Structure 1
Amino acid sequence: MITLIIIVVLLALAIFGLVKLIDKFINPKFKPVLSILLWGITVLFGYLIYQSIQAPIEFDKLKEKRFQVAVNKMLDIKAVQMAFKSINGRYTDNLDTLINFIENEKFTIIERKDTSVIDVEKNRAFGLTVDAKGTGGYFKDIVVTKELGKVSIKDSLFKDSDRYKRLNVVKIGDIVAKIDMKAGFIKRDDLKIPVFEAKLEKATLLTDQDPNLVEKEKKVVSVEGINGEMIILGSMEEVNLSGNWPKKYGNNE
């Protein structure tokens, strides 16, 4: 922005200088033609300066809209992967497996209720005799579970939408950007812990934009931006299913 201000000032000084030269040295009959020419140059430079200011602004608006679409897709992937893991104990990087899971599996709806019961063992250890209500004895807290029924994964997560069939692709107009999904396990002590990662190159969402602005976006480091070259969900190196986007795009925890 400072550079643009300097250019504008220099341009104004240059035009002012030319006007003075015209008044002093140019034949009066040529002055109208030169004035029109100078006005044309002024308008042209003004337009170019305006465009140089507006281009990054318009780029940011478009970028944020496309990144929002991509993050929404990542959030769909996260919901499905978490559901898949809750039933299968692992994640998967296979789209067909996820589609089959969504269309055929069901969530079990469990009711959990906190309650207290007589702690028979503790009462016996202390030699306490209690009545049916536990008067004079110890109680312990337990959780009572009850299965209420089942609901399909598809109805629970996607209702009437079939967007789950394109979980690994972000399509915006003619732009098709593929999400790379990986799944596996990492070892922690003697445990094998399931991990998952989804990545999408930001540049693939911006292939029709100014290459210079795209390169600048790939290097961005900002609290309000998506840092680096990728939109990332999860990790193959640590137990983490967070996203690298700021909260303005959606839940990143």
Structure 2
Amino acid sequence: MKNILKIVLIITAVVLGYFVYRSVDGFVDFHNEKMNRYVVAVEQMQDLALAEKLYKGYNGEYTDNLDSLKHFIQNGKIYSIIRKDSSAYVFDERKRIDVMKNFTIIDTVVSPVSVKDSIFGKRSNALENFGYVPVNGEKHPIKLYASFNDRIIGEDSTNIQRDHFFMGTIEKNKVLSGLDQELIGREMADNTSPIRSDVIKVGSDSRPSLEGNWSTDVDLALQAKKDQEKLREMRSK
């Protein structure tokens, strides 16, 4: 009888140990896949922010039209201007003396670089996926928003400054779709999550901003991914 009880206890311990192992292993797998997906989503958000910044520099405003943004990326050019600070004595008519003045000289206008190369570099299929977050073969669209506010500067009601802003968002549960539902629920409620919101976003719907709502953990993971890609590229040459 004692031997049977020992065998039962051993079997029970083994079974419990197996389920504990599976539970821990499942959580680790979820965490790794979650971070991989966050990295993909954040990379798309960073591409969006840079594209919007360049678009505004050329057009004077942000856009919420993905087709217009992709057309600009595909066909736009940007110029780099090298400026040099200098100084010289200039005769001051009011003071009737020579005074030192600082000024900037435009020294060189560098040949234009395509907007596409500036944003994506050598990443393949980047423009095709732009504006979407690919998850398990399905592309989830990033929601775009762009607008502006007019505000009065000082006491002069005619001195109005227009602030442009944009925002890109995607629901976090769409990025995590297909994973364990219980673990997704925990992640959505976790206030220590790398994304402390129901959405992953960049920009703002009320003020000029190019910031995102993800933690430095995601930034570090994304940088590690880029470093690995560069290493593979160097080895392939």
* Cα distance, 1:203 vs structure 2: 0.9
Deviations 1:78-134 (A, max 9, x none): 1111111111111112111111101211112212111113333x2x22223xxxxxx
Contact 1:220 1:228 in 2 (8 A): no
Q: The residue matched to 2:12 in structure 1 has which SS?
A: helix
1:158 aligns with 2:127: no
SS at structure 1 position matched to 2:145: strand
C-alpha displacement of 1:37: 4.1
Q: Which residue is 1:100 aligned to?
A: 71
Which position in structure 1 is the counterpart of 2:235?
Answer: none
1:171 is aligned, of 134, 137, 140, to 134
TM-score w.r.t. the length of structure 2 is: 0.80
The CA RMSD over aligned residues, in Å, is 2.2
Separation in 2 of the partners of 1:226 and 1:89?
Answer: 31
How many Å separate the matches in 2 of 1:208 and 1:217?
14
Quick one: structure 1 residues 176 and 100, their matched pair in 2 at CA, closer, same or farther if it must change by over 3 Å? closer
Q: Give TM-score scaled by structure 1 length.
A: 0.76
Q: Residue deviations 1:204-227, cap 9 Å, x none?
A: 1222122121112112222x7210
Q: Give runs of aligned pairs for residues 172-211 of structure 1, distance below 5 A.
A: 172-189=135-152, 190-211=160-181
**Alignment-derived partner of residue 82 in structure 2:** 111
Q: What is the DSSP-based 3-state SS (H/G/I as helix, E as strand, rest coil) of the residue aligned with 2:110?
A: strand
For 2:181, the aligned partner's letter is: P
DSSP-derived class of the 1:48 partner? helix
Q: Does 1:44 align with 2:7?
A: no
Secondary structure of the residue aligned to 2:139 is: strand
Match of 2:211 in 1: 242
Structure 2 counterparts to residues 116-135 of structure 1, below 5 A = 116-120=87-91, 122=92, 124-128=93-97
Provide the residue aligned with 2:32 in structure 1: 61
Among 161, 176, 194, the alignment partner of 1:225 is 194
Q: Report if the CA contact (8 A) 2:87-2:103 is conserved.
A: yes
Bigger RCO of structures 1 and 2 (CA < 8 A, at least 6 apart): 2
Q: 2:117 is aligned with what amino acid?
A: D
Q: What CA deviation, in whole Å up to 9, does each residue of 1:50-82 have, x standing for no partner?
A: 223332222111111110111111111111111
Q: Which residue identity is paired with 2:116?
A: K
8 A Cα contact 1:184 1:195, kept in partner: yes
Q: Which runs of 5+ in 2 are unaligned?
A: 153-159, 221-237
Matched residue, 1:139? 100
Larger Rg: 1
- State the alpha-carbon separation in 1 of the partners of residues 167 and 6 from structure 2: 63
Between 47-56 and 76-85, report the one with greater CA deviation.
47-56
Q: CA deviation at 1:164?
A: 1.8
Query: Which consecutive residues of structure 1, in runs of 5 or more, have no partner in the other structure?
Result: 1-21, 24-30, 129-136
Distance 2:201 2:118 in 1: 25
Structure 2 CA distance for aligned equivalents of residues 59 and 148 of structure 1: 47
Q: 1:47 to 1:162 in 2, by over 3 A?
A: closer
- Count of aligned pairs between the two proteins: 212
C-alpha distance 100-51 of structure 1, shift in aligned 2 (>3 A): same
Partners of 2:40 and 2:145 in 1: CA distance? 21
Q: Distance in 1 between matches of 2:125 and 2:137?
A: 20
